[in-house]
Structure 1
């Protein structure tokens, strides 16, 4: 981990344990991207490496250099209006209405450690020796815009954290209409583009295709990162796969509207940029004010997608997630939602909790319907007081009764929403996002509270703190079940209405920071209709997220596989639900449902009292097995073996950091005649060690397990799974 500046060459060389990133000050003025890839001992600039020779239609701003043009210069933070026609990283509108700007280098600073981003989630260090940071200060003299580009490299992680801070040092206001977090130019376009599209109950599918001329965009303008896209893209060498080849990953630490562009220009060079979605965005900067962009985390791997994923997993698990539960094993839980929906009372809840206690489950979670007059999804959001008709003794009595069974007690909230049929809405109808004179579009019979307003944020903080202090609550599921419409605020002036969506996110982050810091021993889990806000921004506040409302085992193979491209196993909530499954009505075996859910934070989402005795015995066995393995599962290193997007089966394995043990999972979706199941070649083991394989009396060499593999046993019927636990001898 180093950042070196060569004064003679005007070169910045940033290095992580295995990668290098090189920036040159072209003409001593313009930060130019030179190199990003395998680690270099040093970099020597050659003049013939000048930017591409421009065409006749490429403006040449300097008469002394007819070969220089912004149209071809690979800038680190490009603008628009002085000759670069590609997507800019920023745009500023001046008081006279013009937008042409040109940032030039003023100075730089290199320091140990990493600064916090004001009001935003970000990766962090626990001491200054863990990272080095470069700040490049740029300025457009005519407008008074100053931009500070931040680059952090880590001692223990092959990642670069980038962000930008825009400051108005001029005397007049500026309107910022684009403020992305990063931009990187590559000298060619011989890449595949990978992204993670989806929908509700079908999140984070893996989609890979050739990079094309023009612009390809992954993004969201829904007010949340969304089920439909994830704030992540990757460029891959065409030959790259799970284990080899160059991969460049881009991940945004933000939970709101975002855009990730991959643009191929006339010269077949590629520009990747990422940040807050410019669509509908404008931010007014008065003299002396600043705007901080979210953080983008960049990862390069020459070991394929697997190497990229493990780099993200290690960083996000240990230096993005925070708090008491960051390094603590997560409890096995049961959630009553699919077991009862809104139809429950204290007696029913205690019946499920009693079964849970007998089966070895550690946490009971009471889901939607415990507050206000909530008997369906048409009322009471915002009324955070206990429904005494359902729970006559209140939350405290119920939680203590559950605790008396040896279980901890958890609770569901949807703090960001308000029902039209609620005491809160009747008292404060202007507290929701809305535009005067337009309809208030409802989703799931609810509106969204305007978290750009201080008084609304304070109401949520006080309401949640009151509930969390009223009973022994150990876990909170924080849900959000609709996206934004009529994005306006009653308290913002006309010139600031386009700031509403981002101000909402800043308010949400402040509410989360306040509530969570005041209840450090509560395990918070994020949720948004399942995985609709499964992003790095949420992980900064909550170390795990409900991966999808769809808990069907077959669907979850793809959902959890796609999620694992960026996010660690410890971040994924994964539950066993009843059959027929409530989302796709599939009937799969309890064994396969359990084996799939064990590749995450394990739990159940059903009515345990309705299960036959033989299934309860299987649940008890699953719970005990997961408890024995969860330290390995939640904090080991993931290796993907077979993709469910490429065939009829899937497989992955988790290996302990010291390679002393591993847990291997194989899943077969549909039975076929004359099946040839073959062998499963493992990864990540110590080739010089022998391993005892569960179910076998013999030990097998790690080299053999990785080169020859494990034989997959034959079976009958659809929806089968096999798991193995390996221990080093």
Structure 2
């Protein structure tokens, strides 16, 4: 007997089936099926044939593939009994609870006294399916691996896209061809990681940014993950995500995965990107003040580093406000004896040498410039050279002889006394001063992976958020080392990278938009000479790259010439004038025929307006630009297009282009199928086009 279930929205159908009372498997996920589709028949016609060298029947690729049923690939669960004996679960379907938008599948293994529960929740507006798996037992077990509900991967795909990176070089896209065997990635650093962002995209044949079918996945957990993309010997493919293996260091009677967010798109990678952007912004993030526009951000780190001096900071605040900043963030160096990165982490008391009257005089001055005030913490870390480490060396996570990272250790966040101490120190500052923003940093990997560390950090942030709901938190981990939907359920902004090199950020922002909306993605105008790359970039290029996301400055404004200050002020004013609609805009990656061009179209939810950013990252191999095709416009509608920064055209752009003289009007059909030809430009420059539907 075959039982079937389905979840539907306007974009997709997800169908599950259980045959013979076994753990269900996903038999279909893709474009909507008719409501009268015979799912039992679909199950039968999807069954693989059997030939020489195979078992007499192919084991199901179930939600939790079981080695005990001769499944030839990676199992969905690896667990040991109290005495260390490996268990080989053999689940049977117990019951399924279904609502209009949800499914909960319960399976049991009576012999091993185990219960497995897979839960699916479909959001009909964002089209994201969130799914979790849980395992319970009647006695403590040792868990090695538990996958979120396992999904089949399409067989009409040639490659997959996942994400690597490094410090100052996050969100680097990897394309890997499907082949028999496993694409196995695991992050064991104890945080989300620069190196292994927990995401995967599978474009089907001939899919691009704007066309074709694609499937995408994101594991919403901040403590390290494992990803398996496996092609079985019989040709089937499976996708598994879960916590990194052996992260549950203690035996327990219940284990649960983080949510795995999955998206199907019929209009290219952009369909996946827009779903993730909207779901994160509208469903995951809890905003401190939804009616408040995102403020222009100023961070003093690259202006003063540890050399805090009140008159200097006041001067910088004055200049930042004149440029348009609306929030001033005091970075590392305000506490303890913090003159460099070798001391004082965890002491979290204002340094009386630098601030003899406390932070009040600086905060009052910042408020007088019509800016709010934010402050930097790195709560999960401790320097050996600190008062707290001397008093409580046992609070540090890991061995005494561990390798330090940035001269520091991690605190053991699983200890209630550690969380209580941190809460007391942080809440004392938040209670004493009008602080509405925390830059929450995490500058080293952990000495060992431990899920309790992540849960402890979550608990501390949750407690602070509950008691100080007006305080916004930015997740920073040496830049982009902790970016995921798990941390963003507790924070409102991420620092995408420590690199303020606009050329590098142009690429990183473009790739990160596959998962992140502009509203949460901090992007700052850095120094003229970038501190992390040494590259010298024009102020207009730096300004427009920052204006693509949540805009800010992170440099010494005293270095600006009058011309640079004017240009930056103009771009900041433009961003403020447009931020209301851009905060909820969809970021659409464009398919450029020239690989040196990185272009995106940010379009309002109602389609009435858009801005196109076309960044020239490198010297083009073409003598003149080819047309750039837009996307997601109304076929018959007419659009007025204007080149916002046409005055920036160089003398080498000598042609008489209509865009240089003023607005042009074209239909959506013309813009999408013919495209628009941009003026010639130097490398490391940006064209900005504004469009509105007439």
> Given that residues 51 and 74 in structure 1 are in contact (C-alpha distance below 8 angstroms), is that contact kept between their aligned partners in structure 2?
no
Distance, in Å, in 2 between the alignment partners of 1:447 and 1:91 is 31
Residue matched to 1:245: 212
Q: Within 2, Cα distance between the matches of 1:451 and 1:280?
A: 14
Q: Does residue 374 of the first structure (1) align with residue 328 of the second (2)?
A: no
Would you say 1:699 and 2:665 are equivalent positions? yes
2:674 paired with 1:726: no
The residue aligned with 1:398 is 362
Distance between the aligned counterparts of 2:622 and 2:182, measured in 1?
46
Give the superposition deviation at 1:111. 3.8
Alignment of 1:607-626 (within 5 A): 607-626=556-575
Partner of 1:678, secondary structure, is coil
Specify the SS of the correspondent of 2:590.
Answer: strand
The 5 A counterparts of 1:222-301 are 222-279=189-246, 281-285=248-252, 289-301=253-265
Q: Output one character per residue of 1:117-167: Cα deviation in whole Å (capped at 9) or x when no partner.
A: xxxxxxxxxxxxxxx221111111111111111011123121211101211
1:204 is matched with 171
1:109 aligns with 2:87: no
Q: How far off its partner does 1:200 sit?
A: 0.7
SS state of the match for residue 586, structure 1?
Answer: coil
Give the TM-score of the pair, scaled to structure 1.
0.89
Structure 1 Cα separation of the partners of residues 529 and 479 of structure 2: 19
Give the match for residue 581 of structure 1.
530
Q: Deviations over 1:457-488 (max 9, x none)?
A: 11111111111111111211111000011x3x
Q: Which residue of 2 aligns with 1:122?
A: none
Change (3 A) 1:709 1:54: closer
For 1:355, which of 319, 324, 333 is the aligned residue?
Answer: 319
1:447 to 409, 414, 417: 409
Question: Where do 5+ consecutive residues of structure 1 fail to align?
Answer: 1-7, 60-66, 113-131, 488-499
Contact 1:346-1:398 within 8 A present in 2 as well: yes
In the alignment, the residues of structure 1 paired with residue 29 and residue 57 of structure 2 have an alpha-carbon distance, to the nearest angstrom, of 22
Describe the superposition over 1:658-677 as per-residue Cα deviations: whole angstroms up to 9, x where unpaired: 11111111111344587311
Q: What per-residue deviation string (whole Å, max 9, x for no partner) do you get for residues 521-558 of structure 1?
A: 22211100000111111111112100100111111121
Question: Counterpart of 1:519?
Answer: 468
Contact 2:614 2:687 in 1 (8 A): yes
CA distance in 1, matches of 2:273, 2:29: 18
Equivalent position of 1:5 in the other structure: none
Q: Which residue of 2 aligns with 1:567?
A: 516
Checking the alignment, whether the CA contact within 8 Å between 1:396 and 1:470 is kept in structure 2 is: no
On the 8 A contact 1:655/1:685 being kept in 2, the answer is no
User: 2:456 aligns to what SS in structure 1?
Assistant: helix
Quick check: 1:561–1:643 contact (8 Å CA) kept in 2?
Answer: no
Paired residue for 2:77?
90
The CA deviation string for residues 576-615 of structure 1, in whole angstroms up to 9 with x for no partner, is 1012111111111110111111111000100112222221
Contact 2:24 2:62 in 1 (8 A): yes
Instruction: State the alpha-carbon separation in 1 of the partners of residues 52 and 579 from structure 2.
Output: 63
1:145 to 114, 117, 128: 114
Corresponding residue for residue 18 of structure 2: 25
Residues 395 and 326 from structure 1, CA distance in 2 versus in 1: closer, same or farther, beyond 3 angstroms?
same
Question: CA 1:703–1:238 in 2, change beyond 3 Å: closer, same or farther?
Answer: closer
Change (3 A) 1:10 1:468: same
Whether 1:12 aligns to 2:5 is yes
Cα distance in 1 for residues equivalent to 2:290 and 2:167 = 27
Q: What 5-or-longer segments of structure 2 have no aligned partner?
A: 644-661
Which residue pairs with 2:648 in the alignment? none
- Alpha-carbon deviation of 1:684? 2.2
CA contact (8 A) 2:143 2:246 kept: no
- Kindly indicate whether the alpha-carbon contact (under 8 Å) linking 2:105 and 2:119 is maintained by their aligned counterparts in 1: yes
Query: Cα distance, 1:621 vs. partner?
Result: 0.9
- 2:628 is matched with which residue? 680
Structural mapping, 1:155-234, within 5 Å: 155-168=124-137, 170=138, 172-186=139-153, 188=155, 190-234=157-201
- In structure 1, distance between residues paired with 2:623 and 2:357: 58
Deviation of the 1:510 alpha carbon: 0.7
Question: Which residue is 1:428 aligned to?
Answer: 392
Q: Please tell me whether the aligned partners of residues 189 and 270 of structure 1 are also in contact (alpha carbons under 8 angstroms).
A: no
| CA apart distance, 1:280 | 5.4
User: Map of 1:505-654 to 2, 5 A cutoff?
Assistant: 505-642=454-591, 647-654=595-602
Matched, 1:711 2:669: no
Indicate if the aligned counterparts of 2:61 and 2:71 stay in contact, CA closer than 8 A: no
Secondary structure of 1:711's counterpart equals coil
**Could you tell me which residue of structure 1 aligns to residue 654 of structure 2?**
none
CA distance in 2, matches of 1:167, 1:673: 59
Deviations 1:380-418 (Å, cap 9, x if unpaired)? 100111012112221222111110111111111111100
Q: Deviations over 1:617-665 (max 9, x none)?
A: 1121121111011123221011111469x72121111011111111111
Sort the Cα spacing of 1:624 and 1:463 in 2 relative to 1 into closer, same or farther, 3 A. Answer: same
Is the alpha carbon distance of 1:91 and 1:549 closer, same or farther for their aligned partners in structure 2, counting shifts above 3 Å? same
Instruction: Specify the alignment match of 1:309 in structure 2.
Output: 273
Q: How does 1:26-65 map to 2 (within 5 A)?
A: 26-42=19-35, 43-44=37-38, 45-46=40-41, 48-49=44-45, 51-54=47-50
Equivalent-residue separation in structure 2 for 1:709 and 1:514 (angstroms) = 51
- SS of 1:262's equivalent in the other structure is strand
**Number of matched residues?**
672
Contact kept, 8 Å, 1:58 with 1:83, in 2: the verdict is no
The alpha-carbon distance between structure 1 residues 159 and 214, as it changes in their structure 2 partners (threshold 3 A), is same
Q: Matched residues in 2 for 1:516 and 1:187: separation?
A: 41
Q: What is the TM-score of this pair, normalised by structure 2?
A: 0.93
**Kept after mapping to 1: 8 A contact 2:181/2:230:** yes
Q: Which secondary structure state, in structure 2, belongs to the residue aligned with residue 223 of structure 1?
A: coil
* Distance apart, 1:710 and its partner CA: 2.6
